[in-house]
A and B are shown apart, each in its own frame.
Chain A
Amino acid sequence: MAFRRVVVTGLGVISALGPDTAAFRQALQAGRSGIGELEGFSAEGLSVKVAAQVRDYDPARHFDCKRLDLLDRFSQFALVAAREAVTHAGLEVAGDRAGVVLGTGMAGQTTEDETYFGLYAHNQKRFSPFVIPRTMANAASSQVTMEFGITGPGLTVSTACAAATHAAGLAFGMIRSGQVDAALAGGSEAPFCLGSLRGWEGVRVMAPDTCRPFCFDRRGMVLGEGAGVVVLEAEERARARGAPIYAELAGFGMSSDAGHITQPSEDGPARAMQAALRDASLSPEAVGYINAHGTGTNANDLTETRAIRRIFGDHAGRLAVSSTKSMHGHALGASGGLELVATVLALHHGVLPPTANFTRPGEGCDLDYVPNEARRAQVDAALSNSFAFGGLNAVLCLKRWA
């Protein structure tokens, strides 16, 4: 059976860079970071001081109060981004020929945190029946199916920092094989609650200043939040209806490190990139840009650089690699969605987003990281890398639609 081609026809984003895709694109092209002082937490001794939070967000502008009772912040973000993507695509998605595949790492942890505070601190005896439906990992995906009347496959992928990339890859496979004609794919995350912040603090990977991927003075990651959702569609159907086509999603690769629960490896990411290229039937030389996982931790940035060198050989010196986490932060299960949109925008507009906050390259970080300033460049193919804690790796391969 011949595989169908899959294209991206709608983009939706809510992030620290603003409320929609236009604001996201503007910030990426200006190299403007959304990282700022952590707001809303005054816990004594909390070492996490900076964050990439969604600011000036009023849920009541998006949802009526009855609906909000059932929506944790991570579901709200998913719905906001999904609405934008569907509007962009101008697609009627209702029915069983469309699916929803969304990623999340922490799901409704804010709701959980508030609830358990009532239990442990105040000996609260009764809980709202909304706690479970708000908290469950599939809440966002379910809410999106309900919003649009999508009755085809719906599922949630939870692979930490790679969740949205895995989600988009699975949706891609479903369209390619003919299971559905279109899908909403991406991820959402709202990890800002005290319990989660303390947990991240405990891992000792949080930067106290800002996120400087691949730099000599990088001090770790900066937590972000939001959602990135795209509309994926079978190419022949998108063309038939005259849809806007932003890029082709041409390949997907996955691998597991089978190594350590937090330490990344060079081998797993390399194999995932290779698998994505093979899936897209592309040679490494065809790739002009990589949206790196680029968390800003010591371990990731070095192993990712080495993995890129291993797969791309001499060509590694000629391609551009940037980490947009320097601007939208590390939004965990949403980050792959944000970065997929960033990669699609780069291909579509011919502007590669920079690695912001760049000082000097770190030891062993010897690639072209597009420091601080966006670059005008028409590239034909790009990768979007996501490597999760626990060594579960996912890479998407996109092609410029010409």
Chain B
Amino acid sequence: MDLAQRVIAVIAKTQHLDAAKITVDSSYEELGIDSLDGVNILFALENELDISIPDEAAKQIRGVRHTVEGVEKLLAEKAAGAA
């Protein structure tokens, strides 16, 4: 499963939504995801991917694509750190 799909799966699970209805272009607003739900998604992503999402980055996330990109960057940093 690619990263976008993993992120979508996490969003679907935490929001009790059908994953098929979420695309990388979905905004949180369209999905009915409020700020507290957004924080919960980050919490679930941190657990799923074993990363730490900084509070500052967390405040800016508005949609699925943005989330995937942010997570991708953090994973790359983590990989670089481990190398």
**Contacts from A to B (Cβ < 8 Å):** 64-66, 69, 126-130, 133
CB of A128 within 8 A of CB of B43, answer yes
Contact code string B32-48 (vs A, CB < 8 Å = 1, else 0): 00001001100100110
| Sample of 18 A–B contacts (CB below 8 Å) | A64-B16, A65-B16, A66-B15, A66-B16, A69-B40, A126-B43, A126-B46, A126-B47, A127-B43, A128-B40, A128-B43, A129-B36, A129-B39, A129-B40, A129-B43, A130-B36, A130-B40, A133-B36
Distance between Cα atoms of A127 and B40 in the complex (Å): 9
Distance between Cα atoms of A3 and B45 in the complex (Å): 57
Distance between Cα atoms of A119 and B13 in the complex (Å): 23
Taking CB atoms and an 8 Å cut-off, the chain B residues in 1-47 that contact chain A are 15-16, 36, 39-40, 43, 46-47
Task: Kindly report which residue of chain B lies nearest to residue A127, judged by CB atoms.
Answer: B43
Give the size of the chain B interface in residues (CB under 8 angstroms): 8
Which residues of A lie under 8 Å from residue B15 when comparing CB positions? 66
A-B interface pairs (CB < 8 A), number = 18
Task: Kindly report which residue of chain A lies nearest to residue B15, judged by CB atoms.
Answer: A66
Which residues of A lie under 8 Å from residue B39 when comparing CB positions? 129
Closest-CB distance, A225 to chain B (whole angstroms)? 26
Most buried by B among A66, A127, A129, A133: A129
Task: Kindly report which residue of chain B lies nearest to residue A133, judged by CB atoms.
Answer: B36
Taking CB atoms and an 8 Å cut-off, the chain B residues in 36-73 that contact chain A are 36, 39-40, 43, 46-47
Give 16 A-B pairs besides A64-B16, A130-B36 with Cβ atoms closer than 8 angstroms. Answer: A65-B16, A66-B15, A66-B16, A69-B40, A126-B43, A126-B46, A126-B47, A127-B43, A128-B40, A128-B43, A129-B36, A129-B39, A129-B40, A129-B43, A130-B40, A133-B36
Task: Kindly report which residue of chain A lies nearest to residue B40, judged by CB atoms.
Answer: A129
Which residues of A lie under 8 Å from residue B47 when comparing CB positions? 126
Closest-CB distance, B33 to chain A (whole angstroms)? 10
